[in-house]
Amino acid sequence: MNIRIQFKRQTVKALQSRLQQACQQSDLLLVRRIGVLLEFVVHQAPVEVLSARWGVSPSCIYQWLTDLLVEGLDGLVYRRRGGRKAKLTKTQKNWLCRLIDAGPQAAGFETACWNSVLIQIVIKREFGVEYNRYYVCELLRNLGYSFQKARFVSDHLDEARRQAWLAEEWPKILKQARRRHALILFGDEVSFPPWGSLSYTWARRGQQPTVKTTGKRKGYKVLGFVEYFSGRLFYQGLNGKFDSTSYQAFVHQVMDATHQHLYLIQDGAKYHTSKSTREFFEQHQDRITVCQLPSYSPDYNPIEYLWRKTKKQAPHNKYFEQYDQLVAAVNQALDHFAATPQAVLGLFGCYCDEVGLTREPTA
């Protein structure tokens, strides 16, 4: 069916003026309606073309045209039509969000994680409204929530200490290191088990996929430092155990490979803070300044992201029949990062974003 409608110039100008207002107010629904009608009336674009271009059905276009003809420009303004009135008001939904954000324990439950049944109980208790537990999930999605896996956080974590480190200690370290043209090294250790890690994969229903493992517990241990300004990686494999002796030997190796002063940022592992290690640092205080990360703050140490990348690149979803094969795979991945400092700097970028810092590139 072909419909040809011609509006007066005055009406077209009124539509164009209202379109500009809608753009300034970011009223996207009204922009779309007026845009479609202008193309339909002024440019005589076919309804089928407009339907495909704007992603609306032909019946919608005809309805908008009818609203314009019957009610004028006011007929194009979006009005909620039909549907059942919401059981919760906007104020009640905002209060529900605050209850959810406070956690289930603050609401009197023993568990630390929400589920739809608990939230259903809270809605009934607080607002006298009863929702089906399955609709509760839809309600939560509409409120901006998603179903996520929780993670453990140490109950010894001192958030005030963490914030003080970011706001006070880290800027001082950065300023001093730049003034002295020193290196900033973030250090840590990791053990790569021979069975690697597993991920989801495609398989026949009822036939769970398998990856072989030797069952041996011997892992490949690695000590490492990453440098803040350049992205340089220092690492050393270890067949023995992590202790004060092996840690000091690795630090000495890094000292021999550099000539600048070193700001060493480390966590509170026992061999980092043992008596012999403290004495070692005192003997080399002309070359090393030691800075301690807040306790239980692996997210403040960017080398943790490097270990995660290495585990994904080397032993992930793989089978190593011999220990030497594991060592070779891990060393190959670490050699890649050592040869591509820009990739390491990218990990620093993730670290800086997550903890609210901005890393400034140096000349």
Are 191 and 221 spatial neighbours (Cβ–Cβ below 8 Å)? yes
Looking at residue 363, its pLDDT comes to 38
310 in the same domain as 190 = yes
Instruction: Write the CB contacts of 89 (distance below 8 Å, at least 6 apart in sequence).
Output: none
230 in the same domain as 102 = no
277 belongs to a structural domain: yes
Number of domains in the chain: 3
115 belongs to a structural domain: yes
171 in the same domain as 27 = no
44 belongs to a structural domain: yes
151 belongs to a structural domain: no
Residue 180 in tokens: 């002295």
Q: Rounded to two decimals, what is the model's pTM?
A: 0.59
CA 65 to chain centre: 45
Domain assignment of residue 178, given as a range: 165-355
226 in the same domain as 280 = yes
Looking at residue 361, its pLDDT comes to 46
175 in the same domain as 220 = yes
172 in the same domain as 27 = no
**Residues of the chain below pLDDT 50:** 354-358, 360-363
133 in the same domain as 221 = no
51 belongs to a structural domain: yes
283 in the same domain as 195 = yes
Are 234 and 264 spatial neighbours (Cβ–Cβ below 8 Å)? no
CATH number at residue 330: 3.30.420.10
Looking at residue 111, its pLDDT comes to 87
340 in the same domain as 267 = yes
155 belongs to a structural domain: no
Q: Beta 262-266 vs 220-227: how paired, if at all?
A: unpaired
158 belongs to a structural domain: no
325 in the same domain as 218 = yes
152 belongs to a structural domain: no
107 in the same domain as 190 = no
The residues with which 269 forms a beta bridge, in sequence order, are none
33 in the same domain as 128 = no
